[in-house]
Structure 1
Amino acid sequence: MFKTLATLINGQNARAEDRVRDAFAIELIDQKIRESEGSLRAAKSTLASLIQRQRAEEKQHNALRARISDLTTRAQEALESDREDMAAEAARAIATMENELTVRAETLNRLDQKVLRLRSSIETGHRRIIDLKQGAIQARAVRREQSIQMQMVKTGATHGSVEEAEELIQRVLGRDDPFERTEILADINHELEGGTITDRMADAGFGGATRSTADDVLARLKSSKK
């Protein structure tokens, strides 16, 4: 029972955390970008220190090689002048410097490797931050679109509302014209009262005319000109 409750509580906490992360996703992205940029700045500072140390080590290494070369020449000249005592002293100094040169060469090699690895890591981190910033721009665009969609839902400007409005418009436009309805009713009443058959018989020449025709108007016009 206790394990079941613990599982449910953990699941609820996880869902709550997901909701918070979704709600503040843009802010979290910006924060992670700032943290990444901070780490990148620290890495660049470390790289600068390593390069500075590397250059100093190279200078000391080159200076030591020059001293060894110079002292070797002097020792050879001492031997040629039968000053073996000075040549031996120079040889001891050269041996010490050669040992130091070996240590400095190893140190310089390790620095070269560290600089190379750190430079590669910085370049990779820089590209990833650029990708993150591009992703953040896309995320903001999506969030704005979602916000607009939510606003449309709140204001009722949804697909269902549009269809409902269109249906109402069609209902209004599809209603019968009351004036046309009145005219049709008048015609029906006229037919029921026998008016229509009377007019047709009068037009056929049976009985007097019940209405004025174009022929009547034309005949009247001709007679008025005589």
Structure 2
Amino acid sequence: MRTLFSGASARAEEQLRDHYSIELIDQKIREADANLRAAKLGLASLIQRERSEERQVEAITGRITELTVRAKAAIAAGRDDMAAQAAQAIADMENELTRRRETVARLEARILQLRQSVETANRRIIDLKQGAVSARAVRREQSIQKRLSRHLGGASAMDEADMLIARVLGQDDPFEQGEILNQIDRELDHRGIGERMSDAGFGPKGRSTAADVLDRLKGK
């Protein structure tokens, strides 16, 4: 029973899908568009973060360059204490610079991956929208064909009309049937024998024939 109920439920679901297929297609496309917009927002956020990290890298690189010049000047002036402080600051900034460059590299890889996914999803949605247009056109054609079939009475009405025509054309000719009946009656009461003997030239002729008329016209 569970198997039967499951089968009936599956068939009902398929029929429902077929009936509302266009609406379901449009809904799925809307959901795909929403997911694509979310992915675009995520991509924009990653790009924004990457740009911020790159600006930080540029700023730190500039400070390291500037502080290196000052440290060299302090060493030249014999101020090793200040040079040591500058060296410590430069080391800290170099460590930070390394971490930020690693972050930028990870962001670049993630952005490239997400950008490819967004482009692929965008192409698929374009294909889906074109497919939806084709599906709606096919559904309209099917609807028109159904209405046309209803107006024409369907194929069964045409078949029935063909059978009626064939039946009328196939009926026996009543005139021919009457002639056959008269001939049968003449044979039954022996009237036909005299007519056939008359036509053969035995005894007087009971009726005029085309041969008689031609003989008379020729003066025989």
TM interval, short-chain normalised: 0.7 to 0.9
* Residue in structure 2 matched with residue 48 of structure 1 by the alignment: 44
Task: Show the 5 A alignment for 1:106-145.
Answer: 106-130=102-126, 132-133=128-129, 136=132, 140=136, 141=138, 145=142
Among 194, 199, 202, the alignment partner of 2:195 is 199
- 1:60 and 2:60 correspond: no
CA–CA distance in 2 between the matches of 1:14 and 1:215?
Answer: 89
Moved more, 179-188 or 39-48: 179-188
* Residue 144 of structure 1, CA deviation: 5.7
SS of 1:205's equivalent in the other structure is coil
Backbone CA RMSD of aligned residues? 3.9
Among 68, 73, 85, the alignment partner of 1:72 is 68
SS of 2:219's equivalent in the other structure is helix
* Residue 123 of structure 1, CA deviation: 3.4
* Residue 170 of structure 1, CA deviation: 2.8
Among 24, 28, 35, the alignment partner of 1:39 is 35
Tell me the TM-score normalized by structure 2: 0.73
* Residue in structure 2 matched with residue 157 of structure 1 by the alignment: 154
Counterparts in 2 of 1:201 and 1:12: CA distance versus 1, 3 Å: closer
Counterparts in 2 of 1:25 and 1:170: CA distance versus 1, 3 Å: same
Among 173, 182, 193, the alignment partner of 2:178 is 182
Tell me the TM-score normalized by structure 1: 0.71
* Residue 59 of structure 1, CA deviation: 3.0
Structure 2 unaligned segments of length 5 or more: list them.
none
Q: Which amino acid aligns with 2:107?
A: L
CA–CA distance in 2 between the matches of 1:74 and 1:108?
Answer: 29
Among 77, 90, 97, the alignment partner of 1:94 is 90
Equivalent pairs: percent with the same residue?
A: 53
CA-to-aligned-CA distance 1:73-99 (integer Å, 9 cap, x gap): 443354345453553343233223213
Q: Which amino acid aligns with 1:209?
A: K
Structure 1 unaligned segments of length 5 or more: list them.
none
